[in-house]
Amino acid sequence: MENHQPKVRVRVCGVCFHQNKILLVKQISLPHVPYLWIPPGGRVEYGETLQEALKREFLEETTLEVEVGNLLFVQQFIQDPLHAIEFFFEVKIVRGEIKEAYYPQNEPYLAEVRWFSFEELAAIPTMNKVHFLNQVSSIEEIKNLNIKSII
């Protein structure tokens, strides 16, 4: 789990669609909520490009190899003690298969990985899903988010 010391973190997340569903991971051990559903991703390491970091993080969290597509939007998250600048890219699966309720062995802060329909997402409380998911109800709406409107 990332150390929550006061500093700005650069994160990258992959938005993956399949059969009108979106792939999300369930983060636990957060300071303000018991869990949060968010697209797979994580911290950019020194010397990594955003794309390299996203491929690495996606593989670690889901066992899937992905191709990184277009930048969809950038989001700021500021809630003490966390401050992150998050880059969300569309990704496509290149290799691998994910099963619902996959539990990553090497990521202790992740409780689950699964595909969600937008109807299922609507049933998740607002505070338990990443901010942009509260603004959309379809794949098309995610792809049409204005990069500057999220910041």
| Mean pLDDT for the stretch of residues 119-124 | 95
Per-residue pLDDT band for 151 (boundaries 50, 70, 90) equals very low
Helix (H) or strand (E) holding 142: helix 139-143
Full-model pTM? 0.85
Higher pLDDT, 106 or 92: 92
Average pLDDT, the chain: 86
**Is there a cis peptide before residue 34, judged by omega within 30 degrees of 0?**
no
Write down the pLDDT at residue 105: 64
What superfamily would CATH give domain 8-150?
Answer: Nucleoside Triphosphate Pyrophosphohydrolase (3.90.79.10)
Q: Sketch the domain layout of the chain as residue ranges.
A: 8-150
